[in-house]
Chains A and B, each alone.
Chain A
């Protein structure tokens, strides 16, 4: 059960401003969705570590050949820096500069 206070707490953590009616709607929807995921939570609560091998079935990593390529360990220029200098409105020391926030002396939009 996700209540309104929890939704407001999550929105604060995720830095998302929500209207009152959004808080109500999302609380109901998250409660429903998380109910549907109960079967997976039960799997996590069970003592499954001994029976489920989460390493052998890892879909992301090729631990045997073929493997992910590793670049040569030699320092070099960041390939994006030249592009950034050509593209960004303003570049300083190889970095994009961004508009100042009003709280830091920038002009409010």
Chain B
């Protein structure tokens, strides 16, 4: 199962199969899966001619044909700019937007020989945990069509789970890669803040947003990250350091690793099947030679409310650029401010408006909340610095407290926000984290999460690959 992408690329490089032939085959599967009453709706846009043209370019160019992702079909979340297709953020206000350039991550994938299959569905502007808040309709979970795929990168997770792409890119602010990966039974990675360029990624909360890969196994996810990682002159938040070989120690196993189990990550109301899979995974790691230690991250309760204060204020600033003049749709009115209000009132969905107004309120009326959020973030981050300084290599937790919920469950806003309660702390602290499948309940996947210190992705991949192979 491991290193599937490398094998696929090697077959194109050796001439065993052309990129075009593989892409046509994958596209047929995508077309079948995305039509009829049982369609997954993983994609917002895909185009046969555009995709086949990319594959032909790979076949014709020796440097692309021998790339590490030669002829590998990849799906990309629709808030990541691509020059040859629309980029909508699943928002009505952006329905006709076309970017004049490729995002850095897309440019790097293409340079490695990858073929972009299409743009995947998401919660509008990445605001949500179910991919139901999309102007293009909800995505369904390929493991059970009556359930959500998670979100906001639900389309990217579903595309990999359904075989419409071998791997995909999602984006995370609080858990939008790991939570859908967990719900759809695939691997999802949040890299260290500053590891991957956000140039060409439509901003939600700039101190938190990261691009992360999703794949069928840990090694494939590591390879994807290898391709997209590294400093970028177009994104001053990327850090100028050499990118380590994420696969160099991926097969070293669990023996000798010190795995911390944070006691705050087993919240009341956890689904019994999740608790059982989690306990079994810990037992497997112990049996394979890992040292398991009980640890405490005492400020965990602060993470979710801290996150919402920070993210909504940054969102209200970032989305001010959608003003009816420079991007996307416009609804005319007699005055410029009237035009802006009508454009934004009709162009944004309910969740987007709610969160912009919350951010506007906090910025203009609630300075104590803003100050508290800065302190909350520092306390949550310090918890992680303390456990890693005390000799913990990686932390292990469930990714979510329950498997995928049903479509249309109509959760109240804050209930929906609780979907991120186990993933949000890593986002606040800027540390890397990965979700891998560790079990299932009634056919719905269950995910486990490893978190590591900043820049310690190699250790994180080693632990995740060790557990993955032990669970096979």
Instruction: Mark A residues whose CB is within 8 Å of B.
Output: 2, 6-7, 10-18, 22, 26, 29-30, 32-34, 36-45, 48, 52-54, 56-60, 62, 65-71, 79-80, 83-84, 86-88, 96, 98-99, 101-104, 108-109
Contact = CB atoms under 8 A, between A and B. Distances in A.
Nearest to A37: B305
B229 to A, nearest CB: 13
B262 interface: no
13 contacts: A29-B354, A34-B366, A36-B308, A40-B306, A44-B370, A53-B382, A56-B382, A57-B377, A58-B378, A59-B193, A59-B429, A71-B233, A87-B100
Contacts of B334: 102-103
Contacts of B414: 32-33, 36
B341 A17 contact: yes
A39 B300 CA distance: 12
B372 A101 contact: no
Contacts of A56: 378, 382
A18 B360 CA distance: 15
Interface in B203-257: 207, 231, 233-234, 236-241
B375 A43 contact: yes
Contact of A29 (B341, B373, B413): B413
Contacts of B3: none
A37 B364 CA distance: 16
A7 B414 CA distance: 19
A41 B361 contact: no
A40 B429 CA distance: 16
B239 A40 contact: no
Contact of A60 (B237, B350, B353, B368): B237
Nearest to A88: B100
A54 B378 contact: yes
Nearest to B239: A66
Interface stretch (B153-161, B323-331, B461-469): B323-331
A56 B172 CA distance: 24
Nearest to A85: B100
Interface in B164-193: 193
Contact of B360 (A13, A42, A102, A103): A13
A58 B350 CA distance: 32
Contacts of B237: 60, 68
